[in-house]
């Protein structure tokens, strides 16, 4: 293998493929099946970034220049890389421009993650072949971008094989295709306008089932006849030919095992996919039932346990304009919103880092439209003239390059995250421990614990202030009410000042739900008070608070401030 081939990671078959008119099966490429947490968001991503078109007759796939890519709404077991189907490929006439466009998008939101080579570049140019680079979709599908004017759009499917030549021979024997050489450099199969290529694997490739690229599908005219031939050839069936439950047509489908742990679907002509739904998670945060709150041995409502805000992740603080008249979201809308929220947070992390990945938690995404419930329009009241002045002053004081720790947020400095612990993509744990006269609340993100007295005692004097204020609790029936004053104003919430008074209300609304309401009253900043709400879900059987060791290895602080030190050194030269 020469150096050019090694750079590409493609392997030329050592023996040319022979024509097999007796064994070759008449089959057509049908689709690539990609696992994503939410099919509707995957359709939008491929349409936006890879120029595919949503299928006209279904909502779970796209047409990419004549090649279908279909999505399955369920959690993926990991990236396609180093499985039997390592990646799929798209071709563009001007790849340099396309990759620059994708790099400018960045990884935030439903963004694009580019794979960089050792020198930091995103493109390689192999003379006599083409330019190429790699990106990943948000669900772990590895995608090779190539510049091949002969085949634009969906370009090829790239297998990872212990024996590339034997693998390509097997596919030709099973499904036909034309033996060909891509740019006279790479042996492969030509299936209409789509190439099937193979590269040498380091060890046995991982199974594709459940991974980002779950399987490839081929279409035949008569599945029963094709299955009989395959059995005679020793093909192992993972699923026997049958019309699948939820099939959009009566066409049959079967699954077989291909070389190198590849799952393959064989479908009859006319197959139009399957209507599937993720395992139904019960929305216990929106539809509430009558509930009798349990009591502690000393008679107060019992809130003790580990809770999580995962179900509320994705709820916007204020009501969106396009949902002004909507009471609650549909389950489909809530799932899509959760997916967008998950992708919008630490996007580059794989799904195992994201506690809020659809299907990973027992509760369905909350269908609550917005956190602000008062005023009734779901919007924060207008700012006062003084509030606008404070906001403008805060913006003017921001330094484009932090010169010292004081220029950074209390979160970056590992002091406190926020006065309201709105759920993020992970670390949404919240533990409550109670005793006579006190309630202790620990939040996972930034490891803060508040010990709140519930016996009658006054607030501290006005001269004693702190980041999270001075909290005093009391019981009103089944609700714990916490009044908080004495803020130092250095960890503002939505622009609040040191004159803020905050009231929290905790109420158990079911065996596994804890409603949390927070009222923000700061007459210096807003023309009126406002209240937000979301619901925690009990997570003791699935969730354990982990140590949030914020300062350990806090390279962020050092690296951020190193910019200012470098600028100072340059100015001193």
**DSSP states along 58-93:** -SSEEEETTEEEEEEES--SS-STTBSEEEEEEE-S
220, 269 in Cβ contact below 8 A?
yes
502, 452 in Cβ contact below 8 A?
no
Task: Name the pairing type of β-strands 213-220 and 142-146.
Answer: unpaired
Phi/psi of residue 55, each to 5°? -65, 140
Domains in the chain, CATH or no CATH each? 3-219+245-268 (3.10.180.10), 305-538 (no CATH)
Phi/psi of residue 216, each to 5°? -110, 145
45, 246 in Cβ contact below 8 A?
no
Instruction: From residue 150, give the alpha-carbon distance in Å to each of 146, 244, 275.
Output: 11, 37, 36
pLDDT in tens, 105-159: 876 556 788 889 999 899 999 998 999 999 999 888 999 999 998 889 999 999 9
What residues form DSSP beta bridges with 198? 159
Arithmetic mean of pLDDT, 64-88: 92
Tell me how far apart the alpha carbons of residues 85 and 224 are, in angstroms, rounded to a whole number: 26
Q: What's the residue count for the chain?
A: 573
pLDDT band at 24 (very low <50, low <70, confident <90, very high): very low
The 3 state secondary structure assigned to 356-380 is CCCCCCCECCCCECCCEEECCCCCC
Residue for token pair 């100072």: 568
Work out whether the CA dihedral 306, 309, 310, 312 comes out positive or negative: positive
Tell me how far apart the alpha carbons of residues 353 and 534 are, in angstroms, rounded to a whole number: 23
**pTM, 2 dp:** 0.79
Tell me how far apart the alpha carbons of residues 178 and 24 are, in angstroms, rounded to a whole number: 10
388, 396 in Cβ contact below 8 A?
no
Give the pLDDT confidence score for residue 282 in this predicted structure. 66
Phi/psi of residue 569, each to 5°? -65, -40
**Which range is least confidently modeled, 61-70, 365-374, 466-475, 553-562?**
553-562
**Residue closest to 450 by CA, chosen among 422, 427, 416, 413:** 416
pLDDT band at 309 (very low <50, low <70, confident <90, very high): very high
**CB-based contacts of 511, cutoff 8 Å, min separation 6:** 291, 538
**CB-based contacts of 216, cutoff 8 Å, min separation 6:** 29, 31, 32, 33, 85, 157, 262, 264, 265
Tell me how far apart the alpha carbons of residues 293 and 479 are, in angstroms, rounded to a whole number: 10
Give the pLDDT confidence score for residue 126 in this predicted structure. 92
pLDDT in tens, 487-538: 999 999 999 999 999 999 999 999 999 999 999 999 999 999 999 999 999 9
Tell me how far apart the alpha carbons of residues 229 and 222 are, in angstroms, rounded to a whole number: 11
pLDDT band at 293 (very low <50, low <70, confident <90, very high): very high
Residue for token pair 């969906």: 154
Q: For the chain, what is the mean pLDDT?
A: 88
254, 241 in Cβ contact below 8 A?
yes
In the numeric block, which tokens belong to residue 349?
């992390």
Helix ranges restricted to H, 223-289:
223-232
pLDDT over 50 at 11, yes or no: no
**CB-based contacts of 553, cutoff 8 Å, min separation 6:** none
């Amino acid at each position: 293998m020469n150096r050019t081939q090694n750079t590409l990671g493609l392997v030329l078959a050592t023996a040319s493929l022979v024509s097999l008119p007796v064994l070759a099966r008449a089959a057509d490429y049908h689709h690539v099946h990609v696992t994503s947490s939410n099919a509707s968001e995957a359709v939008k991503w491929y349409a936006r970034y890879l120029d595919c078109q949503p299928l006209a007759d279904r909502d779970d796939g796209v047409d990419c220049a004549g090649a279908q890519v279909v999505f399955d709404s369920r959690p993926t077991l990991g990236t396609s890389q180093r499985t039997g189907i390592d990646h799929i490929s798209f071709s563009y006439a001007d790849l340099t421009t396309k990759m620059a466009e994708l790099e400018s998008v960045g990884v935030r939101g439903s963004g694009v993650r580019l794979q960089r080579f050792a020198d930091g570049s995103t493109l390689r140019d192999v003379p006599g072949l083409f330019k190429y680079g790699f990106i990943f979709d948000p669900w772990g599908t590895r995608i090779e971008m190539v510049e091949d004017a002969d085949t634009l759009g969906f370009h090829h499917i790239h297998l990872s094989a212990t024996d590339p030549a034997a693998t390509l021979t097997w596919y030709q024997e099973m499904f036909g295709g034309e033996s060909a050489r891509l740019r006279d450099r790479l042996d492969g199969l030509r299936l209409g306008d789509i190439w099937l290529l193979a590269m040498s694997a380091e060890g046995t490739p991982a199974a594709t089932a459940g991974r980002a690229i779950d399987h490839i599908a081929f279409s035949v005219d008569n599945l029963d006849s094709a299955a009989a031939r395959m059995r005679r050839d020793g093909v192992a069936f993972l699923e026997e030919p049958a019309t699948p439950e939820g099939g959009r047509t009566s066409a049959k489908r079967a699954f077989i095992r291909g070389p190198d742990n590849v799952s393959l679907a064989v479908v009859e002509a006319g197959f139009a996919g399957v209507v599937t739904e993720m395992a139904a998670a019960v929305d216990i945060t929106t539809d509430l039932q009558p509930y009798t709150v349990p009591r502690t041995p000393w008679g107060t409502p019992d809130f003790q346990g580990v809770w999580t805000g995962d179900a509320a992740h994705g709820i916007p603080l204020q009501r969106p304009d396009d949902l002004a008249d909507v009471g609650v979201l549909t389950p489909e809308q809530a799932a899509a919103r959760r997916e967008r929220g998950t992708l919008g947070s630490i996007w580059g992390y794989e799904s195992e880092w994201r506690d809020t990945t659809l299907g990973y938690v027992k509760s369905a995404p909350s269908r609550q439209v917005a956190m602000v419930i008062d005023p009734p329009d779901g919007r924060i009241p207008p700012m006062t003239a003084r509030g606008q002045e404070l906001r403008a002053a805060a913006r003017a004081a921001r330094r484009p390059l932090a010169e010292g720790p004081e220029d950074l947020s209390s979160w970056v400095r590992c002091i406190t995250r926020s006065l309201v612990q709105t759920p993020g993509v992970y670390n949404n744990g919240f533990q409550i421990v109670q005793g006579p006269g006190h309630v202790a609340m620990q939040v996972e993100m930034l490891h803060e614990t508040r010990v709140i007295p519930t016996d009658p005692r006054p607030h501290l004097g006005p001269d004693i202030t702190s980041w999270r204020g001075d909290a005093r609790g009391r019981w009103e029936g089944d609700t714990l009410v916490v009044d908080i004053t004495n803020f130092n104003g250095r960890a503002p919430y939505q622009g609040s000042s040191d004159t803020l008074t905050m009231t929290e209300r905790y109420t158990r609304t079911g065996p596994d739900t804890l409603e949390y309401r927070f009222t923000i009253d700061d007459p210096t900043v807003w023309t009126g008070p406002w209240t937000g709400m979301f619901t925690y879900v009990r997570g003791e059987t699935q969730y354990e608070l982990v140590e949030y060791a914020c300062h350990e290895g806090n390279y962020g602080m050092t690296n951020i401030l190193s910019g200012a030190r470098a600028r100072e050194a340059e100015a001193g030269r």
